[in-house]
Structure 1
Amino acid sequence: MKMWTIHDKMGFSPGHSVECKNRIEVRDPQDDSLIATVPAVTAEGMQKAVDRAAEGAKIAAETPVHQRISVLYGTADRIASRREEFATLIAREGSKTIREARKEVDRAVETIRISGEEARRIQGETISFDQMPGGENRLGGFYRFPVGLVGAITPFNDPLNLVAHKVGPAVASGNAVIVKPASVTPLSALKLWEVMQEAGLPASVFSVVPGRGTEVGDILVQHRSVRMLSFTGGVDAGREIVRKAGVKKVSMELGSNCPAIVLDDADLSSAVESCISGAFWAAGQNCLKVQRIYIEDSCYPDFLEQFVFCAQQYRVGNKLSEETDMGPLITRREAERVDRWVKEAIKEGATLCCGGKLDGAYYTPTVLTDVPEGSRLEREEVFGPVVCLYPVRDAEEAVQRANRTDFGLQAGVFTRDLDKAFNLVQRLDVGGVMVNDSSDYRIDAMPFGGVKQSGLGREGVRFAIGEMTETKVVCFRLGS
């Protein structure tokens, strides 16, 4: 297997290096083989990186829009030309199969290109100051300016595209950005850094700082030079960030426990196909994954039979094989946690329809029924290849049960009836409703985020740019 070489200075400005005696080993979760080692940056190293990036923020703000566009388009072109290299890197360091990884590369290209397009559309508006008495001789409006330095903390499950969703909008809007990638999957972020340097991005504008969160996270979160934090990860970590951040902008995507609702007039085969993909894509390690499915009584037996059959056909194995549908979880420890949750649910009265088998970091696609109310699998985010099916009397019961969690990212609804669809769209407490698709559908241009404990703010390039900029009002008092 190829061994990736990561230069110790990667992610830092030329001419500056940070002493890193310790290293982070990046291992393939499939067989625990060593892929690469990267520097384990210390708190002191993160402090130096922030200081340099604060200077980079001045450069970024002064960079003309046409240059930002050129860098972003150039980056997208370079990623596209190295599609297989990026895909193999994503598959090796994470959980995705090679087919899933190629799709992530394609999405990252789209995210960066959209960022280039949106850079030219950051606009303001005029204000009619004469709407108030005394404002007759005033003329002006508002425009948007960059916040300065954005701190981004990214997870392991989309190691390239979720980084692109933070870096692309930051660069487009004239900010500097520091990315602290997940320690288990830092290589894709570092490769993106390398490509953006080739495309002409000033070195201090974008930094990747690999390190352990307990060592470097507080520096990034609390530093006064960091004017905005963009975080994707777990709820507990999100709460800690909010508590420590102080007065600065914060945008968070904190996961979910996504429901799907299947009504009796739905196309069952299409609903099954969508929900199977939504439940088991990337081994279920996806904030949009389908975790709970509520099916009307009359079609429940047929749906259950088809769903279990398809889950049993899902091919688990070598990530780099074109025939594989699902690879391992990110670590053996995570697979063991998922197994504990499933066994706990079974002990509480749930029925195991298929799956439930642990083999190292692999966990087979698992379908449960009769999961009792209040079970951890019903309340919390499993982040693994497990899905719970429930029969319901009608749409009313389905929506009530779907809303019965502290999360609210996205939901899927399957019906041919527009009236029923619109009713559920209005009543589901989520940030997005996908009609005749599972919750696991997203394009990179749409606003993306949730309600309740699923997060704060919205991603999606144009909407992230809104989060990463401030509004400045300008008013001229004219001569009488």
Structure 2
Amino acid sequence: MSLALRQVVTPVPAETGRTLLIGAGWETAAETMTVRNPFTGDVLGEAACAGVEHAERAVASAVLGAELMRDLSTGARSRILHAAAAALEADAARFAAAITAETGKPVRSATREVARAVNTLRLSAEEAVRLAGETIAFDSFPGGETRSGHYVHEPLGVIVAITPFNDPLNLICHKVGPALAVGNAVVLKPAEQAPLVAVMLAKLLLAAGLPEGALNLLTGRGCDFGDALTGHEDVAMVSFTGGAGVGQAICRSAGMKRVAMELGGNGPVIVMDDADIDTAAQACASGAFGAAGQNCIGVQRIYVHESVHDAFRDAMVAATNALTVGDPTDPATDIGPMIDLQQAERILTWTREAVAQGATLLTGGERVGALVRPTLLADVPEAAKVSCEEAFGPVVSLFRFSDVDEAIDAANRAEYAIHAAIFTGSLRHARHAARRLRVAGVMINDSTDYRLDAMPFGGAGRGNMGREGVRFAVREMSQTKVVCFHDA
């Protein structure tokens, strides 16, 4: 496994700083920020830094856009989203190259992300014409015999969508697609580290036929205008994916409006004594280190039955060392850089702290630039940051257990949880773990990082609210209205 830096850059068309979409026009701002390739450091473009005034105008534009979206038929919304999906599929190579350049995600993974984003938009297009209500049996209770009616789903109005860098395309589609399917308008705030992919998607959606104001885009630093955006009285809902600290700040500023949040996780895996060890090790290595570990559902803690611990440890070390770390534009690369040098150094600091507290370094623990060699630790104290906090980087900890309930209890100790996994040949063990693990999803004989874009997705720990997954997000972003006819 080589950590050599090969200076290969996939060009992304540089933006002039006109990255703010407010109404029908693209704008710049008095201040811009430079977007760089995390692998090479090369400049990819400039992004405008929005301020409070831009946030206020974007919401005002979205208010008008929401009225236009509400008036669109479900068929028209569906056709726009289908057209966007088709255009994205046709332009997949350019979008994948942009994701790789902007985030350092290996091109194979970036290509998969584009394919998933196409699917997310198609699912959204399908849900646009499925959002139907039902009739209500008013005569089921005395006094309702002369009444009949139904309920329908209606849009909320203006949705603020705030997205992270690790899936800069598909996570936007998971918020924007369902919001538009329902008939809402969106103000999108993409991650500071990856705004250019969002600009590309916005242009594609406009070309697909979105009405003016239906999508507004604000790039820049959230600390400059976030409170003005999320706290605006004309915003009906805030949908956020990111860290707990920012999530708390959003809740304080948002006030009495609908909020959906996914605040990260600390993915636990249980490997039973009857598991297929090689399969489990390969799946855990892939689930832990893909996207350089910058994955909210990635594998972080692995609890291994004591009778197979050493065999799994050796298989896991081998699977980890077989991963190719380097140039993300090379199709052979498994692991690219972390998003920046600061995050890479943080992971190494956490690793060193764990070792100082008694952990054993089995492999990894090195970096070159923002490239961090996948790191595997054993004998990790529970109080170490790599164990009890979301690492969001390529480091995994191994633990022994003798009883499955002991492992489940340990897995449940994390404050934030999304997915857990168990590898076992026993249906009884699988069902038992599925019942007792306090998470939003349990993967059986699979890594925690598996996600189907149609399934419900979200967190189970403190602060997590709402669900994504297109059909479920559509319900979050709509409200029911009852229509009752009195026949007397």
Question: What range is the shorter-chain TM-score in?
Answer: over 0.9
Partner of 1:127: 136
Could you tell me how far apart the structure 2 residues matched to 1:312 and 1:454 are? 36
* Alignment partner of 2:255 out of 217, 221, 246: 246
Shift of 1:454: 6.2
Q: Is the 8 A contact 2:92 2:111 kept in 1?
A: yes
For the aligned residue pairs, the C-alpha RMSD in angstroms reads 1.2
Please list every run of 5 or more consecutive structure 1 residues that lacks an aligned counterpart in the other structure.
Answer: none
> CA–CA distance in 2 between the matches of 1:88 and 1:313?
25
Contact map agreement 1:12 1:203 (CA 8 A) in 2: no
Q: Distance in 1 between matches of 2:462 and 2:297?
A: 14
Name the residue aligned to 1:321.
330
Letter of the 2:329 counterpart: L
Counterpart of 1:453 in structure 2 is 462
What one-letter code is carried by the residue in structure 2 that aligns with 1:239?
Q
TM-score w.r.t. length of structure 2: 0.96
Q: Is the 8 A contact 2:78 2:126 kept in 1?
A: yes
Question: Quick one: which of 174, 180, 190 aligns to 1:171?
Answer: 180
**Residue of structure 2 in register with 1:444 after alignment:** 453
- 73, 86, 102: which one pairs with 1:93? 102
The alignment status of 1:145 with 2:154, answered yes or no, reads yes
Equivalent residue for 2:388?
A: 379
Answer yes or no: is the 8 Å Cα contact 2:230–2:253 preserved in 1: yes
Tell me which residue corresponds to 2:45: 36
Are residues 161 and 15 of structure 1, via their aligned partners in 2, closer, same or farther at CA, if it must alter by over 3 Å?
closer
CA distance in 1, matches of 2:110, 2:386: 27
Matched residues in 2 for 1:66 and 1:331: separation? Answer: 43
Percent identity over the alignment is 44
Instruction: Tell whether 2:66 aligns with 1:57.
Output: yes
Residue deviations 1:360-396 (CA, integer Å, cap 9, x gap): 1111000000001222111100000000011100211
Contact 2:12–2:101 (CA under 8 A) maintained in structure 1: no
Report the AA paired with residue 431 of structure 2: F
- 2:409 maps to 400
Counterpart check, 1:332 vs 2:336: no
Deviation of residue 203 (structure 1)?
2.9
Displacement of 1:139 after TM fit? 0.7
1:17, CA displacement in angstroms? 5.4
List 4+ stretches of structure 1 deviating above 3 A.
7-11, 13-19
- Report the Cα offset of residue 433 of structure 1: 0.4
- Displacement after TM superposition at 1:6 (Å): 2.6
CA distance in 2, matches of 1:15, 1:152: 19
1:223 aligns with 2:245: no
Rounded to whole Å, the distance in 2 between the matches of 1:188 and 1:17 is 15
Contact 1:457–1:467 (8 Å) recurs in 2? yes
Comparing 284-293 with 39-48, which one deviates more in the overlay?
A: 39-48
SS at match of 1:308: helix
Please state whether the residue corresponding to 2:308 is helix, strand or coil. Answer: helix
Alpha-carbon offset, residue 450 of structure 1: 1.5
Amino acid at match of 1:404: R
Q: Of the candidates 391, 409, 422, which is equivalent to residue 418 of structure 2? A: 409
Q: Paired residue for 1:435?
A: 444
**C-alpha distance in 1 between matches for 2:88 and 2:46:** 22
Matched, 1:260 2:269: yes
1:365 aligns to what?
374
- For 2:72 and 2:474, how far apart are their aligned partners in 1? 16
- Corresponding letter in the other structure for 2:113: E
Is the 1:105–1:161 Cα contact (8 Å) retained in structure 2? yes
Counterparts of 1:373 and 1:303, CA distance in 2 = 20
Q: CA separation in 2, counterparts of 1:388 and 1:148? A: 44
Work out the number of aligned pairs and report it. Answer: 479
The residue identity in structure 2 corresponding to 1:432 is G
Q: Distance in 2 between matches of 1:274 and 1:384?
A: 17
Contact 1:263 1:394 (C-alpha < 8 Å) held by counterparts: no
- Measured after TM superposition, the shift of residue 309 of structure 1 is 1.0
Q: Does residue 82 of structure 1 match 2:129?
A: no
Whole-angstrom CA distance in 1 between matches of 2:96 and 2:37: 14
Q: 1:321 to 1:14 in 2, by over 3 A?
A: same
Asked if 2 retains the 8 angstrom alpha-carbon contact of 1:256 and 1:454, the reply is: no
* Residues in 1 aligned to 2:399 and 2:89: alpha-carbon distance in whole angstroms: 42
Contact 1:408 1:454 in 2 (8 A): no
Aligned mates of 1:58, 1:346 — CA distance in 2: 57
Tell me the alpha carbon deviations over residues 39-73 of structure 1, each in whole angstroms, 9 at most, x when there is no partner. Answer: 11121111111111111111111111111111111
Q: Rate the CA distance shift 1:462–1:132 in 2: closer, same or farther, 3 A.
A: same
Quote the residue 1:105 is aligned against: 114
- 1:249 & 1:36 partners in 2: Cα distance? 35
Q: Alpha carbons of 1:91 and 1:19: their partners in 2 closer, same or farther (altered >3 Å)? A: closer
Structure 2 residues not aligned, in runs of 5+: 1-8
